[in-house]
Amino acid sequence: MRRTVDVWNRHLRQVLVIACAAVLATSLFAPAQSVGAERSSAGSPTAATPSVSAPVTVSRVETEHLVARLIAESAAVVPGGNVELALVFDIRPGWHTYWRNPGDSGEPPKIDWQLPAGVRAGPIRWPYPELIRVGPLANYGYSGRAVHLVRLSVAEDWPLGEPIELLADATWLVCEEHCIPEEGRFHLRLMVSAAGDASAGPQGTDDEKRLRRARLFADARAAMPAAGRIAARLERQDQRLRLRVPAAALPPEPTSVRFFAGHWGLIEHAAPQSWQLQDGQLEMDLASGAAADATPPTGLLVVDARNGTRALQIDATANVLSGAPSGVSEPMPEQTLAMQGQRSGPARGAAEPLGLPVALVFALVGGLVLNLMPCVFPVLAIKALALAQQGEMALRQRALHGAAYTAGVLTLFGCIALVLLALRAGGAALGWGFQLQSPVFVVLMGYLFLTLGLGLSGAVTLGIGLTRVGGSSPQHGHLGAFATGALAALVAAPCTAPFMGAAVGYAVVQPWPVALTVVLTLGLGMALPLAALMLSPALARQLPRPGPWMEHLKQFLAFPMFATAAWLLWVLSQQAGSAGVGAALAGAVLLALGLRLLELTRAWAVRWRWLGRGGFAASLAVALWLAVGLAAIEGGASNRTDTVENPQQAGLAAEPFSAKRLGAARAAERPVFVNMTAAWCITCLVNERVALTRPAVVSAFTERDMLYLKGDWTNRDAAITEYLAGYGRNGVPLYVYYPARGEPRVLPQVLSESVVLDALQQ
């Protein structure tokens, strides 16, 4: 008996040890299991309760058809800040979920948030969908993986250190040949700290998991439609719809295009969609849906191109035509213009659609005329000095100078074109002259012209460079001629001459070899006059002989350089405000001081020259630091709208351009004059001075109760870029007159008082 009791005691002790070990293991591993979820039957998934002590950035629900996760991009958020959440569906093969418009059948996912006071969740942001065919029908949805982003905002007075508990009840429909409604409850806990931690993850997460989460959010943002809406045009013809979108808004060289209607009933989702690029526009032929007349004409355009896929939000609300014969446009009903009031196609008076031969001719002529535009005036001084120094040079040397000058122009134009095309391919809303939309670039150009002025005036001695154009040394002269050409192109590029706007507008929507050819032809046109003058023996005989007078001329020509630097400073004031101007002035003073120190120590003993060089290097470094710092205050004076305080010009007080304001005026049958301008466009400023502010024009505007809208493109503005693209343009100026009734009219790029009055009276 005693022996039996000992055996039972021994077994009991073993059971107790095992039980204690089990309890200990459960307590240790419970936090790790809290971020997971138990597998459940379809339609009844459950999520585990998270740990109380640790931030939880992943909550997971698994069903038979998909794995759903609610993920926070970071484990911590700052008071008053935001954190990105993602509802992720990893869908089993053969099954799919749905977009916000599911198409012919289906239901999009929904989230019911239970949030504490002071925390707000934004709407679901939808990645672009794919077409999923189901027999004769078609749905819009996702297979494989779908990531839906939601932005969470935290109040500024949220206590530091107090965690945020998030509860979300989500429902979704997952389908194969049959559909299963499912739901899941998700629970996240985020920490609140003074600095936040965008890279932090749940405790125990290693670097590989953090990188995977970062890639997930990066890929999700890349799949989101581009910001803003593209104003399109929709024509209804019997049972067909014709959608027109400015080709300038598309990525280059599209290979496939699909329109996903934003609402059911606009189109037949399963019907084929044919498309073509023609006359600077994308034209799509769509089958009209069952409720096309009552459905908002909005949606998503998904474009596959050589450099990837891009989705664009389309809105044709303002441009809906009914009953127009094929290929013929009729005036838009004025009441349909309440939202945007902007035409996407060329208006009357705009340049007709171009082919490549015509575009090349326009580019060449536009480049020739560009030499006469105010934009090029700042470099006329250098050109004059170059010509004056060619008098006694042999024809061969003059030809080499002309070739070097032409090469400089073509090189700079080619570089600008390639950068513009590359940035636009990446989704940036940019146009011709984009470089002067950057305050950093503007102030660096100001430094350059200040340095040139100091060199021409004799205050400092510059090395081989722009001030030695046409010098006695052929090698130095050729390098100077090249730099002169590059500088001329750099200053002239932001402005638009007659014929040039249409050519550039055509170029930016073509494949890059065609676009580059057109832009280089433009540069060739600009370089031709000076190159031809250098090759003319008759002109060489007429030029005065070099002598002491050339030194006086060179010193006098320093003042146009200083004037250009002052103009760039004014442009900067429109972009970055007084703070930007102050930083630029300080940098200019330091740069001038450094150049002067370098000049003073040039003749000193070798062991002391380092003082001048060090002082110059330090001054240059601080000046560049001040220039780069302007990027942080860019836009300090954006949305600038000049108003004329002279009572005689009160009728020209401008309102900032907006498509909504334009649409409202058109709906009220009020005439509108749109002026697309920029502070760095000298042609624009001259046009305003010699035409738009003349008393006769002001009186004509006042008599007609004209609404004057000014679009300021001094800083980057996607809405203005889109408006320009709608008229086949890629730069300013652009002037459009909308009469009370009828088609808008595009005015020439060089205005006069009579040109404006004639347009108003037609």
Write down the pLDDT at residue 365. Answer: 85
- Give whichever of 53-57, 352-356, 649-653 has the largest mean pLDDT: 53-57
Indicate the pLDDT class of residue 638, thresholds 50, 70 and 90.
Answer: very low
351 pLDDT above the threshold of 50 = no
Burial status of residue 716 (CB atoms within 10 A of its CB: 0-12, 13-18, 19 or more): middle
Write down the pLDDT at residue 639. Answer: 40
User: CA gyration radius for the chain?
Assistant: 33
Task: List 70's β-bridge partners, or say none.
Answer: 59, 87
DSSP single-letter state for residue 555: H
Write down the pLDDT at residue 49. Answer: 43
The residue among 597 and 650 whose pLDDT is bigger is 597
Indicate the pLDDT class of residue 494, thresholds 50, 70 and 90.
Answer: low
Write down the pLDDT at residue 98. Answer: 94
Length of the chain: 762
**Which of these ranges, 37-46, 162-171, 561-570, has the smallest mean pLDDT?**
37-46
Write down the pLDDT at residue 177. Answer: 75
Does residue 743 sit in helix, strand or coil? coil
- Give whichever of 21-30, 511-520, 640-649, 704-713 has the largest mean pLDDT: 704-713
Indicate the pLDDT class of residue 91, thresholds 50, 70 and 90.
Answer: very high
DSSP single-letter state for residue 331: P
Indicate the pLDDT class of residue 599, thresholds 50, 70 and 90.
Answer: confident
Which residue in this structure is represented by tokens 């954190």?
83
- Give whichever of 236-240, 394-398, 545-549, 734-738 has the largest mean pLDDT: 734-738
Write down the pLDDT at residue 379. Answer: 66
- Give whichever of 55-69, 486-500, 572-586 has the largest mean pLDDT: 55-69
Q: Are 417 and 409 in contact (CB under 8 A)?
A: no
Indicate the pLDDT class of residue 391, thresholds 50, 70 and 90.
Answer: low
Write down the pLDDT at residue 436. Answer: 63
Give the chain's mean pLDDT.
74
Residues 142-195: tens digit of each pLDDT: 999 999 999 999 998 898 888 999 999 999 999 987 888 999 999 999 998 876
Mean local confidence (pLDDT), 291-310 = 87
Tell me which residue of 606, 580, 608, 611 sits closest to 594, measured CA to CA: 611
Residue 256: count other Cβ atoms within 10 Å of its Cβ. Answer: 11
**Which of these ranges, 84-93, 644-653, 716-725, has the smallest mean pLDDT?**
644-653
Residues 230-279: tens digit of each pLDDT: 778 888 877 889 998 888 778 878 899 999 999 888 999 989 999 998 87
Q: Strands 145-154, 58-62: parallel, antiparallel or unpaired by DSSP?
A: unpaired
- Give whichever of 73-82, 470-479, 501-510, 583-592 has the largest mean pLDDT: 73-82
Q: How far apart are CA 114 and CA 167, in angstroms?
A: 5
Write down the pLDDT at residue 336. Answer: 32
Mean local confidence (pLDDT), 625-639 = 60
Write down the pLDDT at residue 166. Answer: 92
61 pLDDT above the threshold of 80 = yes
Write down the pLDDT at residue 124. Answer: 94
Q: How far apart are CA 548 and CA 553, in angstroms?
A: 9
Indicate the pLDDT class of residue 318, thresholds 50, 70 and 90.
Answer: low
389 pLDDT above the threshold of 50 = yes
Indicate the pLDDT class of residue 366, thresholds 50, 70 and 90.
Answer: confident
Write down the pLDDT at residue 546. Answer: 60
Write down the pLDDT at residue 383. Answer: 62
**Which of these ranges, 181-190, 604-613, 659-668, has the smallest mean pLDDT?**
604-613
Residues 442-464: tens digit of each pLDDT: 777 777 778 877 877 777 776 54
Indicate the pLDDT class of residue 47, thresholds 50, 70 and 90.
Answer: very low
Residues 506-563: tens digit of each pLDDT: 666 567 788 788 888 888 888 888 777 777 766 666 666 666 666 777 777 778 778 7
- Per-position DSSP letters for 587-656, written without gaps between them: HHHHHHHHHHHHHHGGGS-HHHHHHHHHHHHHHHHHHHHHHHGGGGGTTTT-S------SGGGGGG--EE
Write down the pLDDT at residue 151. Answer: 93
